[in-house]
Amino acid sequence: MYKLTHAQYFTALKENRLEGLKCCECEAITVPPKATCQECGSPSLEVTTLSGEGAIRTFTVIRVAPEGLEAPYIVVLAELKEGPWLMGNLEGIEPSAATMDLIGRPVKLGHRVVTGMRYTAGEGVVPLFSLAD
Amino acid sequence: MREVAVLGVGMTKFGPTDLSIKELFAQAALEAIRESNLTSRDVQALFVGNVLGDFAEGQMNLAGFLADEIGLPPRIPATRVEGACATASIAFREAFMWVASGFYDIVLVGGVEKVSSMGTPLATRAFAMATDSHYEEFCGLTFPGVFAMLTHLYANKYGISLPTLKEQMARVAVKNHHNGAMNPLAQFQAEISMEKVLNSFMVCDPLQLYDCCPFSDGAAAVVLASREIAQARVAKPVKVLGVGQGSAGALSRQKDFTVMQSRVASARQAYKMAGIEARDIDLCELHDCFTIAEIVASECLGFFEFGQGSAAVEKGSTRIGGKIPINPSGGLKSKGHPIGATGCAQVYEIVKQLRGECGKRQVDGAKIGMTDTLGGDAGTVVNLILGV
């Protein structure tokens, strides 16, 4: 039943390709993938490749990290061109330069493979954004 | 559906302790049973909240051990529930429904948490397990991180400069420490200054140490029964007027989470069931895990318009004696936040307030109180309304 599993999504992300799901009923885009449309709940979905382009809506600099990760690093929520928001990390700027004027800045997508965290079911692949302006 | 009331409540002092999960729970549970003029033999079911016992003590399958610790016989079903920081409120709502339905007459509900022995890196990791394990945890998202992003979102959305918002947030910390200083069970019983908040170290931009609640150990418990039993057993039963619970997925799915839809929906259920509105609430114990969290909660529950909650703090509207006293107990911020116990500890404060037993932090004439407990990044939210 799954059109796009988390493993397939991670595999594409490793090639800097952002795979999402388009709802056959309301046409909304769901990303990261799940069993049902994130807007209307319909299970009728088809795979679609997204631009990976968007703008930062909010951010933070994590200075106290969970075990297995090293601070500081930046976490962002970006609004993609196609509508959904996507969480990732931001590279290319120093944490000290992460200020309110980041909000609204355009970003493009890369990726980062995360290993070494305990209590996970294998590695993770994270959207790694960089500023596009 | 039958009317349900709180007979008795119990709570440990919050903060680091050498006591185990079982010992903490028993202290609160036996106090609640004693205050209800009952014995353990009268309890027909136990619902207990705990989040991190697996990691803190290597203890799964906790409920049976807790039932045994307080002397419940083998015929009594004991159930552990988990919903991150909303855990104990979920347990309360479950217990409420079993009594309301008539299936049980007397149910014990409680919550317990022990994290002080875990150390900050493991505790931070374990807390982060309440975010989405595939799409948030690998980003290194932490709970200060969730509310730090919320702060930036709020400032940008409502056009409030970050320094102004930070000052308003600091006032939440100062207020809640002021209240906590009057609560003998609070983890921090000391006033703090604006300067201390704004000069504390940066945990997660823009949240500083005193924007954050502490890691805490502690337990709280409540006995629920039908109204008839409550009236026969205790002098001042407190009625359960309304309950609500909502759910949500990862933050990215929620998009603009300055308006938490799961919380708005949960509060609406509770108000509707109680047949009242936000303006009828005399005091509220809400989920101030971070200073910004109190502001956003106060808006989602309908006490202030969206975008007005931060200014309301500055006006003093949320102080004891203000328009709507928020967190007279000191809140999670000052009283402490043993996450599996917090919901029942909020009920503890509301019950004591409605009975008029809160001394210097008493909200005069309080008749209707509300709790608000947020689990994870709004994945689970519970609201309870109690009244006398």
Give the whole-number percent of chain A exceeding pLDDT 70: 100
Same-domain status, B227 and B321: no
What CATH number has the domain bearing residue B63? Answer: 3.40.47.10
Check CB contact under 8 Å for A75 and B128. Answer: no
Same-domain status, B228 and B252: no
Q: Which one of the listed residues B177, B212, B284, B337 is annotated catalytic?
A: B337
Q: How far apart are CA A52 and CA A10, in angstroms?
A: 14
A59 pLDDT more than 90: yes
In this prediction, residue B143 carries a pLDDT of: 94
Identify the segments of chain B with pLDDT beneath 70: none
Check CB contact under 8 Å for B152 and A62. Answer: no
Q: How confident is the model at residue A1 (pLDDT cuts 50, 70, 90)?
A: confident
Asked if the C-beta of A63 comes within 8 angstroms of chain B's C-beta atoms, the answer is yes
Same-domain status, B175 and B87: no
**Tokens matching residue B101:** 């339905």
Give the whole-number percent of chain B exceeding pLDDT 90: 98
In this prediction, residue B361 carries a pLDDT of: 98
Check CB contact under 8 Å for A64 and B142. Answer: yes
Q: How far apart are CA B26 and CA B32, in angstroms?
A: 10
Largest CA distance in chain A: 45
B345: containing domain: 120-213+242-387
Chain B hits for A59, Cβ within 8 Å: 149, 152
CA closest to B254 among chain A residues: A85
Helices (H), B75-161: 87-101, 120-128, 143-158
Task: Tell me the three state secondary structure of residue A58.
Answer: strand
Size of interface A-B (CB pairs under 8 A): 113
Mean pLDDT of A46-53: 98
A54 pLDDT more than 90: yes
Task: Tell me the three state secondary structure of residue B311.
Answer: helix
Same-domain status, B142 and B261: yes
Chain B hits for A114, Cβ within 8 Å: 138
Q: What structural domains and CATH numbers belong to chain A?
A: 1-50 (no CATH), 51-133 (2.40.50.840)
In angstroms, the separation between the Cα of residue B278 and the nearest Cα of chain A is 29
Our answer to whether residue B134 is catalytic in this structure is: no
CB A35 within 8 A of CB A12: no
Q: How confident is the model at residue A116 (pLDDT cuts 50, 70, 90)?
A: confident
Same-domain status, B204 and B221: no
Residue B382 β-bridge partners: B245, B373
CB B272 within 8 A of CB B281: no
Chain A hits for B124, Cβ within 8 Å: 64-67
Tell me which DSSP letter residue B353 carries.
H
Looking at the 3D structure of chain B, how many domains does it have?
2
Mean pLDDT of chain A: 97
Asked if the C-beta of A5 comes within 8 angstroms of chain B's C-beta atoms, the answer is no
Same-domain status, B129 and B207: yes
Among B379, B381, B355, residue whose Cα is nearest residue B366? B355
pLDDT digits (tens, 9 = 90+) for B260-313: 999 999 999 999 999 999 999 999 999 999 999 999 999 999 999 999 999 999
State the amino acid at position A76 in one-letter form.
V
In angstroms, the separation between the Cα of residue A25 and the nearest Cα of chain B is 18
In angstroms, the separation between the Cα of residue A111 and the nearest Cα of chain B is 11
In angstroms, the separation between the Cα of residue B160 and the nearest Cα of chain A is 11
Same-domain status, B162 and B308: yes
Chain A hits for B156, Cβ within 8 Å: 58, 100, 103
Asked if the C-beta of A75 comes within 8 angstroms of chain B's C-beta atoms, the answer is yes
Same-domain status, B75 and B200: no
In this prediction, residue B90 carries a pLDDT of: 98
Chain B hits for A62, Cβ within 8 Å: 140-142, 144-145, 204
pLDDT digits (tens, 9 = 90+) for B87-98: 999 999 999 999
Q: Which one of the listed residues B85, B204, B213, B300 is annotated catalytic?
A: B85
In this prediction, residue A89 carries a pLDDT of: 98
In this prediction, residue B121 carries a pLDDT of: 87
In this prediction, residue A91 carries a pLDDT of: 97
In this prediction, residue B42 carries a pLDDT of: 97
Same-domain status, B341 and B366: yes
Q: How far apart are CA B370 and CA A116, in angstroms?
A: 43
Check CB contact under 8 Å for B145 and A88. Answer: no
Checking ipTM against 0.95, whether it exceeds it is yes
Check CB contact under 8 Å for A75 and B134. Answer: no
Q: How far apart are CA B235 and CA B232, in angstroms?
A: 8
Our answer to whether residue B213 is catalytic in this structure is: no
Chain B hits for A58, Cβ within 8 Å: 149-150, 152-153, 156
Q: Are strands B368-375 and B218-226 parallel, antiparallel or unpaired?
A: unpaired
pLDDT digits (tens, 9 = 90+) for B242-262: 999 999 999 999 999 999 999
Same-domain status, B205 and B81: no
Same-domain status, B206 and B58: no
CA angle B310/B316/B322 to nearest 5° reads: 120
pLDDT digits (tens, 9 = 90+) for A64-77: 999 989 999 999 99
Q: How far apart are CA A20 and CA A50, in angstroms?
A: 6
Q: Which of B205, B239, B273 is the last residue of a domain?
A: B239
Q: What is the DSSP string of A12-54?
A: HHTTT-EEEEEETTT--EE-S--SS-TTT--S-EEEEEE--EE
Q: How far apart are CA B55 and CA A14, in angstroms?
A: 32
